């Protein structure tokens, strides 16, 4: 009898343990890999890391939100690759991401790497969103998988060129580029706009994305008495160009596109950076959503440099499209991505049929007291003072509630 009772007790305990085991069984989950590519080594590694940080923050927030895709908890993983701002390396890491079976890509940073890599993503049917590649050619290829959250150089080039022409009224301008897809592309757009404004131009001068000695070109520019210079290239080469220009006694106004529109220009050019003009193909980082800015600072202990709010939005757009399609399969979520209408850290984002952001803003900056300061926003061809634009963009305060009647029982007087 005792043995029977003992057997029944052990059986009950075993059943109880099995039941507990079932309760603790983890919920089904699915790993979704999202790639990010940018230069993480070399002269513009700081910009690549800034972009990666934006994508990483979006991934971590999505994981904290415990998003479900197809009934399973999504575990998003960021697969970060370094393209060294080199087109050949860019295509190599693009294929590496395809082979790793990522569900989508945020990047690349440079137009020169994004354009060749996009052909690989297109062949694999993988959506790619760049938050910083601005060359028009990227979205003129007809690839349905390519999107960008910033404006194009044929918007940005005219913006900085028109601002330079209208405010500084130069008579003779020297245009220099670094011979990359980005640098040459934006310099071409600046030249077109200045020619249309009947401003004289010197023959185009070229360096490379590794040039740090510009003295021969600058001596030529000084000899021709140019009163403005535009450089298409990144800050790593633009800083030395500006510094050497001032050392040679060149008093011309120096202007730049977004690649050299960073606070690092003060590190590279010193006091010579004050007074420069430059553009960014979107709203400035400080105009991004406060929630994003606070989260970025808390996570990385620095402020965003340039385009991380746009890569943050890029990663979130991929995730949002997956949620709407209830699938991480690119074939299924790509249509949702194409018809996005998303409120991001950089404002409302929708794409045209080429994959470009609709109605993108351009920002003009100057360097003042060693700090990059936004001075104007250009949108739909209209220039607005930055402070005025931000005032108009600020949410309108809710009206104060109407005073309650003296007594709820009393009828309102007419």
Q: Which CATH number fits domain 154-280+364-393: 3.90.1720.10, 3.20.20.70, 1.20.1560.10, 3.40.50.2300?
A: 3.40.50.2300
Q: 154-280+364-393: same fold as 29-151+285-360? A: yes
Domain assignments of the chain as residue spans, ordered by start: 29-151+285-360, 154-280+364-393
Structure tokens at 367: 């360097």
* pLDDT, tens digit (0-9, with 9 covering 90-100), for 297-355: 999 999 998 899 999 999 999 999 999 999 999 999 999 999 999 999 998 999 999 99
Buried b (16+ CB within 10 A) or exposed e, 66-95: ebebeeeebbbebbbbbbbbbbebbbebbe
- Order of all β-strands in the sheet with 146-148: 68-69, 72-82, 29-38, 104-107, 128-130, 146-148
Residue 150's contacts (CB-CB under 8 Å, 6 or more residues apart) are 130, 131, 132, 133, 134, 281, 282, 307, 310, 357, 360
Inform me whether the pLDDT recorded for 65 exceeds 70: yes
* pLDDT, tens digit (0-9, with 9 covering 90-100), for 157-206: 999 999 999 999 999 999 999 999 899 999 999 999 999 999 999 999 99
Please provide the distance, in angstroms rounded to a whole number, between the alpha carbons at the two ends of the chain.
Answer: 93
Q: Which CATH number fits domain 29-151+285-360: 3.30.450.30, 3.40.50.2300, 3.40.1000.10, 2.40.50.100?
A: 3.40.50.2300
Beta bridge partner(s), residue 384: 377
Kindly report the backbone phi and psi dihedral angles of residue 38, in degrees, each rounded to the nearest multiple of 5, phi listed first.
-170, 170
**Residue among 368, 140, 185 nearest 265 (CA):** 368
Predicted TM-score of the model (pTM): 0.80
What length is written for the chain?
Answer: 414
What pLDDT score was predicted for residue 23?
52
**Residue among 294, 240, 258 nearest 110 (CA):** 258
- The whole-number average pLDDT for the span 22-47 is 86
Structure tokens at 241: 């160009």
User: Cα-atom radius of gyration of the chain, to the nearest Å?
Assistant: 27
Is 141:116 a contact under the CB 8 Å cutoff? no
pLDDT category, 137, cuts 50, 70, 90?
Answer: very high
pLDDT category, 6, cuts 50, 70, 90?
Answer: very low
**Residue among 355, 281, 344 nearest 316 (CA):** 344
């Amino acid at each position: 009898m005792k043995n029977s009772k003992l057997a029944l007790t052990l059986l009950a305990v075993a059943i109880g343990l099995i039941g507990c085991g079932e309760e603790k069984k983890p919920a089904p989950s699915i790993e979704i890999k999202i790639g990010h590519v940018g230069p993480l080594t070399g002269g513009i590694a700081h910009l690549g890391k800034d972009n990666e940080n934006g994508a990483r923050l979006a991934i971590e927030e999505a994981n904290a939100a415990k998003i479900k895709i197809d009934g399973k908890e999504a575990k998003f993983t960021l697969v970060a690759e370094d393209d060294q701002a080199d087109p050949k390396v860019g295509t190599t890491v693009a294929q590496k991401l395809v082979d790793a079976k990522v569900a989508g890509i945020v990047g690349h940073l440079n137009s020169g790497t994004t354009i060749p890599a996009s052909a690989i993503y297109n062949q694999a049917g993988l959506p790619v969103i760049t938050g910083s590649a601005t060359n028009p050619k990227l979205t003129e290829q007809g690839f349905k998988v390519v999107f960008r959250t910033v404006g194009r150089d044929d918007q940005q080039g005219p913006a900085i060129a028109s601002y330079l022409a209208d405010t500084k009224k130069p008579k003779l301008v020297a245009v220099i580029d670094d011979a990359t897809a980005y640098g040459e592309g934006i310099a071409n757009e600046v030249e077109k706009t200045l020619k249309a404004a009947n401003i004289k131009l010197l023959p185009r001068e070229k360096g490379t994305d590794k040039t740090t000695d510009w003295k021969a070109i600058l001596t030529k520019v000084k000899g021709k008495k140019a009163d403005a210079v535009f450089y298409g290239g990144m800050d790593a080469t633009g800083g030395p160009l500006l510094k050497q220009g001032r050392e040679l006694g060149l008093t011309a106004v120096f202007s730049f596109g977004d690649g050299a529109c960073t606070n690092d220009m003060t590190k590279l050019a010193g006091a010579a950076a004050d007074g420069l003009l430059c553009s960014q193909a979107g709203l400035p980082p400080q105009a991004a959503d406060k929630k994003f800015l606070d989260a970025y600072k808390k996570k990385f202990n620095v402020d965003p440099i340039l385009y991380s709010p746009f890569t943050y939005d890029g990663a979130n757009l991929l995730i949002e499209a997956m949620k709407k399609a209830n699938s991480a399969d690119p074939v299924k979520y790509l249509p949702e991505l194409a018809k996005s209408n998303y409120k991001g850290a950089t404002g409302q984002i929708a794409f045209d049929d080429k994959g470009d952001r609709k109605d993108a803003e351009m920002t003009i900056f100057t360097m003042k007291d060693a700090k990059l300061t936004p001075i104007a926003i250009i949108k739909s061809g209209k220039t607005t003072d930055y402070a005025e634009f931000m005032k108009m963009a600020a949410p309108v305060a809710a009206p104060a509630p109407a005073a309650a009647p003296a007594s709820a029982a009393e009828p309102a007087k007419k």
